[in-house]
Amino acid sequence: MPDIGGLPTAHIVVGVVMTQFQFETASHTELVRGQCSLAVDRNGAPRIAYTIKDGHVVVASSDGGTWTRERLGGPLATAGDEERVWLQLDSAGNPHLGYIEESTRRLIYGVHSPDLGWKFEPVPTHQPPHEPMVFGISFALHPGGPGNAALRDTPHFAFEDQSIGCLSYVRKVGDAWKVSRVAESLNFGDAGSSRTGQSTSLCFNESASLQFAYVETYEVTPMTVVHVKRALSVTDGTFGAEQDVQKGQYVAGRTAIASRTPQTFVAYCDVSNDALKAGTFDHDGNAIVDVVDSVTGRTSPVLAQDPTRGSELSRQLRIAYADDGEIKLARWEPLAGWTVEVVDPGGGEMPCLAYDSHGNAHMAYSVGQSLRYARG
């Protein structure tokens, strides 16, 4: 097999799955840290955003195996390593970034245009006298569509606001940022309270309907709930009722959500039971939770959809995650259930995943202090 970027290709079989992946080193001499994010443009070319040792954000892009890297400068272009640096591409192929500023925990949004280059701004997330305490951000661009032309490519963020104890949602409507509370913590007086909005994720489906997944924990009776909630209006900031994916005495890790009418899937790590789980809902709105894989410790799954695998979300859905020093990819098969393959047995952490229009999988993840890219 040929070598790509100094790393061998892999032909790995686990169970009935057989996938050919090719690996490249996407970083150069800089020391990579934190969590990366990957997006694929309309031509199938990958772009990856990540942070380096000095805190600056780097955007790497590949054209036929040749990587170029842009180190972003300026007072707002530094990110911490506790949160993912989020990258999205708009309908014109322009990159948008979202991340937590290293020194202040402010939410920073950046967009690049061919005429103006990069422009960064802090996103208003809180009201005085509170200081910004933003954790667990998730980021998406509005897909537009019928009746939503004015919202197309606008940025939408969800995060846990620990300054007031809620799941917050901030988006740009026109030229102004609007902040809404999706869910608020419950106070039981002397008996304690709940903490909501943890480990949040958000997604738009094919009809531009926005949904959130998040974790709530209770002090009164030790309990954890993974919730799903739908936005009724992104402009007005109104939301539907919560749906519970799983409720019980366990510890839940970071959520990931994907939706395509009529299905919604939420993936998360059940840390207490060493399990990666995926939850969905039946026609009556009752939760169905499957164990995707047994895992060692906490893992943060990411979801992506392979557009070449039919029209049902269950057939399109893929879950990427790190487990015990391996990068894995899970998919659901009608007769076999969840099937897991090892993409990279050589190690890696915090993978991200995207599919191009031809059904090729693109992954990026950190290996030590370097950044690895896989295509299969």
Residue 341 falls within a domain, yes or no? Answer: no
Please name the residue ranges forming H helices in 224-279. none
CA atoms of 212 and 2, how far apart (whole Å): 42
Determine the 3-state secondary structure of 273 from DSSP: helix
CA atoms of 151 and 209, how far apart (whole Å): 12
Residue 93 falls within a domain, yes or no? Answer: yes
Residue 280 falls within a domain, yes or no? Answer: yes
Give the pTM: 0.92
Q: What is the pLDDT of residue 163?
A: 85
What would the pLDDT profile of 66-91 be if each residue is shown by its tens digit? 999 999 988 788 888 888 999 999 99
Residue 120 falls within a domain, yes or no? Answer: yes
Q: What average pLDDT does this structure show over 310-320?
A: 94
Residue 80 falls within a domain, yes or no? Answer: yes
48: left (phi over 0), alpha (psi -120 to 50) or beta: beta
Q: Are 85 and 36 in contact (CB under 8 A)?
A: yes
- Residue 3 pairs in a beta bridge with 8
CATH value at residue 292: 2.120.10.10
Percent of the chain with pLDDT over 70: 94
CA atoms of 294 and 113, how far apart (whole Å): 44
Q: What is the pLDDT of residue 270?
A: 97
Residue 372 falls within a domain, yes or no? Answer: no
pLDDT at residue 241 greater than cutoff 50: yes
CA atoms of 17 and 331, how far apart (whole Å): 10
What is the total residue count of the chain?
Answer: 376
Determine the 3-state secondary structure of 205 from DSSP: coil
What would the pLDDT profile of 124-167 be if each residue is shown by its tens digit? 997 777 777 899 999 999 999 888 999 999 999 999 998 888 99
Residue 20 falls within a domain, yes or no? Answer: no
Domain with 184 in it: 25-310
Confidence of residue 19 (pLDDT cuts 50, 70, 90): low
Report the number of distinct structural domains present in the chain. Answer: 1
Residue 350 falls within a domain, yes or no? Answer: no
CA atoms of 94 and 112, how far apart (whole Å): 6
Q: Which residue has the higher pLDDT, 29 or 216?
A: 216
